[in-house]
A and B are shown apart, each in its own frame.
Chain A
Amino acid sequence: MNFRLSRIQFFLLLFIMQSGSSFFSFPSPFITATGRDAWLIFLVAGVLHYLLLLFYERYYQRFTIGPFVGWLYKGYWLFIAVTYLAYIDYTLAVWGFPKTPQFIVLAALVSVSLYANLSRAETIINLSVILIPLIFIFVIFLQFAWDDLTWTNIFPIGESTEKEWLIGLLKAQVAFIGIELYLFFRKHVDVKEEIKGFPLFVYQMLWFSFFFFSVLITLLYFTLAGIQAIPEPLLYILKSQELTFVERIDLFFLYIWMIWSIVTVTILSFSALYVHRLHANEHQKRDTIIWHVLLVFLPLFFLSKKYIEILNDVVIYVHLLFSVLIPFIVIIGSRRKKK
């Protein structure tokens, strides 16, 4: 598959992938596991994220994969997509569409990805642009909760134990999911455009600010006991806002999140099919359809609270394997081959 990315397209692709798969689901389990020090722990997690980006930037050219590793990544992205689709379908069933058959919602979500992936690569790359104004609106509307924030909620600091820090750093990995796309698409960025140094730092700060804001606003709005009772704190904050022009602002953002999810699933599918075509270039249309059929049917097996929780716990460890361990092994392996 031959395509070129500008620096902005590349970072946007990465940002949508990282935020879309976890933004709403991230704050509650992270704060529940870490307590009042969640914001401090996320500061450290932010440094780790930057170090990982620097590592990727330095060695991305050595990340060349064979069919076996390619199949591993396809399996990984299928797992991520299924986990994510099951989660959003469950949330939509609770908040918005309790009576709608869940396979209809799934089919509607996945069908856009099918259409985009049957089209040219540029369609998918530019699809993320529609989210830019929506993300801004989302952040602005969250500011309406300003009067209800209790700043003393983030104190006292330093109460978390070593174990809580460790669990916190693990839970923070949910916000990293999708970072591995850097290794796959970095080489498609126009060589004339600089990534190293300041542009990469700007992306890091953008990612960090976005997730840090979600952690901070949740901590300031809810008590620790309250967060434990509410699985979707950001949606809940939006639901509690009283605006003159819209009765249920949370529903409005549920639809934004749905679009966000659709774009994320499209990018995930694009990545998996991109890797697939590196080693199997025949029957492109058939393989694209099979992939999307799997995306509609596999999540149907995990649409209960129990399975959603299991998948959300497991995804952290699977992510560490595919964003840290396997890239590390592949990069070291390529270095030896070169020698």
Chain B
Amino acid sequence: MKKIVPIFIACSFLLVGCWDEQLYKEVSIVPLVGIERESEKFTGHYSFSVISNESISFSTVEGNGLSVRDTRLNANSKASETLDLSQLQVMLLTEETAKLNINQTFDAIFRTPRTRLSSRVAIVEGDITPYIEKTENMDIELPDFYKDILKTDIEFSVLPDIDIQNVAGIINDDAIDLALPFIKMDEKTGIPKISGLALFSDKAYTGRTLDKEESIIVQVLQKKPGKYSMFTYIWKKEGEPYPLTVELARYKKKWDIQDGKINATYKMKFNIEEFPYDHLDNEKNRKEIEGFLSKELTKDFNKVTKKLQEAKSDAVGFGRSVRAFHPRLWNKGNWHDTFSELEINVKVEAEISRTGILN
């Protein structure tokens, strides 16, 4: 009897699998979803895997409904198997969808325990249909294509390294705004391409975007750059133009926040990646380049900050420091309004720390 009881107990734990098992052969894995919303009507485009002749291809099914979950129910009836979002890699939203409170679009994703929170999110320009269909020019499947292009631009600091879970955190934070990857259709190739960042204010897309160069500046301002952050300028010497490409090595930021004013100083150390003029062994030349970089970067950083203020989008997160340590400024009113009216001065102090294997 004493031996039977522990065996019975051990076996009872296996019972739970009887009711909650889900076999891969009974579901269609959906790695890519596109959501369109018009007022109270949602349309979901689900790209699901089809296995035939030992190879995987992707097919798309469309569903309509009153919510994101409802669209999946509707799409389920059109697909041969149940659509399963537990392996979701990328979620695309149209601009119109993002202009409405995106909390409602994400609710089903956050609430269901089976969904993957590390999936990426991006905003697409125009209709979603062309973005969810593979073109002949594309050599890899769409879900992998989006995953790869997003990953590359995250590495090169064009995009923030955020997933659905981070989106949830930022949506619920009144001291920082969301900035999501913005994807456009390349007119020449007909292939989607990342064009920069879509700026949000509070919980909705503002309709304003930043280009790739400006997007890098946002990541650097936030002090959350990717693996590489590069800047290229044309430096002129005696009327001759020389390209100058530098890579950000290390940097420190200091924000001096006063009532109605923020002075942000960034002390940056750069590696020279390309500079055909050479002569960097000469300290005078190095100082000249440092001065040039400081001036150009200061100008560009201020330009981006101004754009963010115009969009009332604090994508950098100045609000978090203000909320924590400057209650008087924080309590002035709605942070998005306060932020847009602040005097923000960004100063970049550049220093060349490495010149590469050539001087």
Of B12, B18, B321, the most chain A CB neighbours within 10 A belong to B12
Among B70-78, B165-173, B183-191, the one that faces the other chain is B165-173
Q: Which of A100, A111, A150, A240 contacts B165 (CB 8 A)?
A: A240
Q: State whether the Cβ of B357 lies closer than 8 Å to any Cβ in chain A.
A: no
Q: State whether the Cβ of A226 lies closer than 8 Å to any Cβ in chain B.
A: yes
B290-328 contact mask (Cβ, 8 Å, vs A): 1 or 0? 000000000000000000000000000000110111010
User: Assuming A97-B20, A156-B325, A226-B169, is B12 touching A111 (CB within 8 A)?
Assistant: yes
Give Cα distance in the complex from A99 to B8, angstroms.
22
Q: Which of B155-184 contact A (CB under 8 A)?
A: 163, 165-166, 168-169, 172-174
Is chain A's interface secondary structure helix, strand, loop, or mixed overall? Answer: helix
Q: Which of A185-242 contact B (CB under 8 A)?
A: 221-223, 225-226, 229, 239-242
Q: Verify B172–A98 contact, CB threshold 8 A.
A: no
B126 to chain A minimum Cβ distance, whole angstroms, is: 31
Q: Verify A148–B166 contact, CB threshold 8 A.
A: yes
Q: Which of A80-125 contact B (CB under 8 A)?
A: 94-101, 104-105, 107-108, 111-112, 115, 118
A114 to chain B minimum Cβ distance, whole angstroms, is: 8
Q: Which of A99, A156, A247 contacts B327 (CB 8 A)?
A: A156
Is chain B's interface secondary structure helix, strand, loop, or mixed overall? Answer: helix
Q: State whether the Cβ of A68 lies closer than 8 Å to any Cβ in chain B.
A: no
Give Cα distance in the complex from A227 to B292, angstroms.
47
Q: State whether the Cβ of A161 lies closer than 8 Å to any Cβ in chain B.
A: no
Q: State whether the Cβ of A152 lies closer than 8 Å to any Cβ in chain B.
A: yes
Residues of A within 8 A of B321 (CB): 152
Q: Verify A111–B117 contact, CB threshold 8 A.
A: no
Residues of B within 8 A of A226 (CB): 168-169, 172-173
Q: State whether the Cβ of A301 lies closer than 8 Å to any Cβ in chain B.
A: no
Residues of B within 8 A of A250 (CB): 113
Residues of B within 8 A of A241 (CB): 118
Tally A-B pairs: CB < 8 A: 81
User: Assuming A115-B5, A152-B323, is B117 touching A240 (CB within 8 A)?
Assistant: yes
Give Cα distance in the complex from A97 to B6, angstroms.
23
Q: Verify B327–A100 contact, CB threshold 8 A.
A: no
A285 to chain B minimum Cβ distance, whole angstroms, is: 12
Residues of A within 8 A of B86 (CB): 247
Residues of B within 8 A of A245 (CB): none
A259 to chain B minimum Cβ distance, whole angstroms, is: 10
Q: Which of B16, B117, B325 contacts A104 (CB 8 A)?
A: B16
How big is the A interface, by class?
Answer: 20 to 34
Give Cα distance in the complex from A35 to B6, angstroms.
46
Q: Verify B20–A155 contact, CB threshold 8 A.
A: no
Q: State whether the Cβ of B23 lies closer than 8 Å to any Cβ in chain A.
A: no
Q: Verify B20–A99 contact, CB threshold 8 A.
A: yes
A333 to chain B minimum Cβ distance, whole angstroms, is: 42
B280 to chain A minimum Cβ distance, whole angstroms, is: 35
How big is the B interface, by class?
Answer: 20 to 34
Give Cα distance in the complex from A250 to B86, angstroms.
14
Q: Verify A100–B19 contact, CB threshold 8 A.
A: yes
B195 to chain A minimum Cβ distance, whole angstroms, is: 26
Q: Which of B12, B16, B166, B323 contacts A97 (CB 8 A)?
A: B16
Q: Verify B325–A155 contact, CB threshold 8 A.
A: yes
B157 to chain A minimum Cβ distance, whole angstroms, is: 15
Q: Verify B323–A239 contact, CB threshold 8 A.
A: no
Q: Which of A151-198 contact B (CB under 8 A)?
A: 152-153, 155-156
A103 to chain B minimum Cβ distance, whole angstroms, is: 11
Q: Verify A239–B320 contact, CB threshold 8 A.
A: no
Give Cα distance in the complex from A150 to B172, angstroms.
13
Q: State whether the Cβ of B13 lies closer than 8 Å to any Cβ in chain A.
A: yes
Q: Verify A156–B168 contact, CB threshold 8 A.
A: no
Q: Verify A239–B172 contact, CB threshold 8 A.
A: no
Q: Which 5 A-B pairs have the closest CB atoms?
A: A155-B324, A240-B165, A242-B118, A152-B324, A226-B172
A-B contacts besides A152-B324, A226-B169, A247-B116, 18 pairs, CB < 8 Å:
A94-B113, A95-B113, A99-B20, A100-B16, A115-B9, A152-B325, A156-B323, A156-B327, A221-B169, A222-B172, A223-B169, A223-B173, A226-B172, A229-B172, A240-B117, A240-B118, A241-B118, A247-B86
Name 28 interchain pairs, CB-CB below 8 A, sorted by A.
Answer: A99-B19, A99-B20, A100-B16, A100-B18, A100-B19, A105-B16, A107-B12, A108-B9, A108-B12, A108-B16, A148-B165, A152-B320, A152-B323, A152-B324, A153-B320, A153-B324, A155-B324, A156-B324, A222-B172, A223-B172, A223-B174, A225-B173, A226-B169, A226-B173, A239-B117, A242-B163, A247-B116, A250-B113
